[in-house]
Chains A and B, each alone.
Chain A
Amino acid sequence: MIRFEGVTKRYGDADSGSADGGSRAGGGGDQGAVAVDNLTLEAPTGQITVLVGPSGCGKTTTLRMVNRMITPTSGTISVNGRDTASMDVAELRRGMGYVIQHAGLFPHRTVVDNVMTVPRLLGVDKRQARARAMELIERVGLDPAMARRYPAQLSGGQQQRVGVARALAADPPVMLMDEPFSAVDPVVREQLQNEFLRLQSELGKTILFVTHDIDEAVKLGDQVAVLRVGGVLAQLAPPATLLADPVDDFVAGFVGRDRGYRALSFAAAPELSLTDEPTVRLGATAEQVRAVGSPWVLAVGDAGEPVGWVRAAAVDHEVTRDLLHRGGTVASTSGSLRALLDAALSSPSGRGVVAGDDGRLVGTITAAEVVPAIEARRTATTAGEVPEGASTR
């Protein structure tokens, strides 16, 4: 658990800047500008706490005060009950993984040597550290053949993964991550986010994660802290609450559009009665398709998994993959209301495809049938407390 108690950082103090780095990082800047203002916050053990807010609101400053790269002007920060100010700086830092923006890899060392750095600092022997590093390189989704490359030979996304692997190498219980996925395109970013969540579900680290992207915050956070410029905590809440119930105009504006729809991500799909859908197999003949008697017919693969809708009139000989309509999404019975509604809205037949956890077709549902479930949830919410965030990951 990381705990901030009344933490303030004012730049331009006598002791501004870094704790031990000499004058390079410190000095200059606005005289007495408050970057973090009386912050009290708890990042619970084993969970992801996301710090989000507009540029310059003090996210990086907050993060770097935890490993004392920046010294707070006042207040205390404790990690698992120990006041960080009383700890040896090197020991404190070696006990937490730190991923900085743009990875900050060592250009003169190969990927595997980069990842081995902290274990080697801690005195782990070379072979053991190397074995561990190779394992992590694979774990973050890199080809082991890349281990012998140098950072300059990697793409931005690959470098970010190495940065994450390097921070994980000593298996620290606490991770500090400063916009680790910011330097990559949206597709790679989503991929990294998904891998990150998968890793976290295995590792259960205590993570403080900084981003300026509210969608990333909502997707990754077990709880989200929204900061406003001047370093004031505007709201600390689970993502579902943030979307459903922003405390003020600033948070509402920052959280952005489509809040109602996005909030459905956190509502588990209830037990709904699904309609049985007549299907055809891939490779079915035109007669079999027309025999169903519907303008859009759902095709399934060999394992009974839905593969796509096919327009009956378009089938001349048999159902092939290239005849399939690609627009529809598939909801899962264990998914969210949002996925359910989206399946219905994106389906060309208007009937949303629902599959079980094994991927096999369970049935279909229309938007008109989903909406009452949403309404019912609203009644439950206003009557009682905020809905628990159902995992849609």
Chain B
Amino acid sequence: MSPATIWAWFTDPAQWSGADGIPNRLAEHLAYTAITLVIGLLIAIPLGAWVGHTGRLRWLVTGANAMRAVPSLGLLFAVSMFVGPLIQSDLAFVIPSIVVLVLLAVPPLLSGIYAGIESVDPAARDAARGMGMTGWQVLTRVELPCALPLSLSGLRSATLQVIATATIAASVSLGGLGRYLIDGLASRDYVQMVCGSILVAVLALVADLLLAALERYAVSPGISGRSVGVARSRSSRTGEASRPDPVEAPRSISTASPTT
């Protein structure tokens, strides 16, 4: 197997059309990933926000992290066996796959949001409450925006994991990029397997770059510290020093009656 054979595989027009063409497999893979992340976020955001905001039931986060240790493939078969008889149609395979992927996505999402809120400066939270914000306002206007960088890190790592692991859906006869791995293995077509892996890796990379761009755009520069270093050194010069101060006139003799 050489770069040339890989190149030949990718440039074969047959790979770019039809139900088992790259565009369709890619779309399926993206669909599994998107569905998983949406469900994962729907679970992790409220739960993580609540645990972080109230400081209660922190063991939920630890417990969720322990779940990462469960092998995904084993879990997939177990869930399939359990769900399969209950549902006819294709959903009998889709649901177990999504369940497994969601279980994989929730822990990083949850710990990201929770850790983000936990790390908010207690003084800022205190000030927010002290100025009369309700608990909901403190959460949405202070805690969540400040938690954004860590939450997005959680989202990035969840996305990477889900994209990589969504390949297992193919093992229960669903589509996605995993098909190239499973089918390649079955037919000993190693070129196809390598090319499938490359596709998964490229997809993961692109997704990560997009999320990184989102992070740049969404996180307040006051938190991300972008350009803060430069501006800060400027502040010490133009800010305080150059402002003529009526109170602290340095000429001692003309300063009337010092107090205290």
Contact = CB atoms under 8 A, between A and B. Distances in A.
Interface of A: 18, 20-24, 67, 69, 89-95, 98, 100-110, 117-118, 121, 141, 143, 145-146, 149-155, 157-158, 163, 166-167, 187, 190-191, 194-195, 198, 215, 218-219, 262, 265, 305-309, 324, 326-332, 335-336, 338-339, 342, 353, 355, 359, 392-393
Contacts of B129: 18, 20-21, 69, 93
A392 B145 CA distance: 46
A307 B259 contact: no
Nearest to A19: B129
A95 B8 CA distance: 73
Nearest to B149: A108
Nearest to A340: B257
Given A150-B221, A153-B231, A98 B256 contact: no
Interface of B: 53-56, 121, 123-124, 126-135, 137, 142, 145-146, 148, 220-223, 225, 228, 231-232, 235-236, 238-240, 243, 245, 247-248, 251-260
The 10 tightest CB contacts between A and B, nearest first, are A150-B222, A339-B257, A335-B257, A104-B127, A93-B132, A104-B123, A94-B132, A108-B220, A98-B130, A332-B256
A194 B18 CA distance: 78
A191 B256 contact: no
Given A329-B258, A330-B256, A335-B257, A107 B124 contact: yes
B56 A23 contact: yes
A155 B253 contact: no
A50 to B, nearest CB: 13
A134 B53 CA distance: 32
A98 B247 contact: no
B222 A107 contact: yes
A149 B231 CA distance: 8
A143 B131 contact: no
A20 B220 contact: no
Given A167-B131, A215-B260, A265-B260, 7 more contacts: A20-B135, A22-B54, A106-B142, A118-B131, A143-B238, A152-B222, A324-B253
Most A CB atoms within 10 A — which of B231, B252, B258? Answer: B258
Given A98-B131, A100-B130, A101-B123, A108 B145 contact: yes
Contacts of B239: 143, 146, 154-155, 158
Contacts of B142: 106, 108
A143 B221 CA distance: 20
A100 B123 contact: yes
Contact of B56 (A22, A104, A150): A22
B254 A307 contact: yes
A198 B246 CA distance: 12
A152 B123 contact: no
Contact of B255 (A118, A327, A329): A329
A24 B258 contact: no
B259 A219 contact: yes
B256 A359 contact: yes
A93 B53 contact: no
A141 B245 CA distance: 9
16 contacts: A18-B129, A69-B130, A102-B123, A105-B124, A108-B142, A108-B220, A117-B131, A121-B132, A121-B133, A145-B238, A166-B127, A191-B247, A328-B253, A330-B253, A330-B254, A332-B256
Contacts of A103: 123, 127
B37 to A, nearest CB: 24
Contacts of A336: 257, 259
Contacts of A218: 260
Nearest to B260: A219
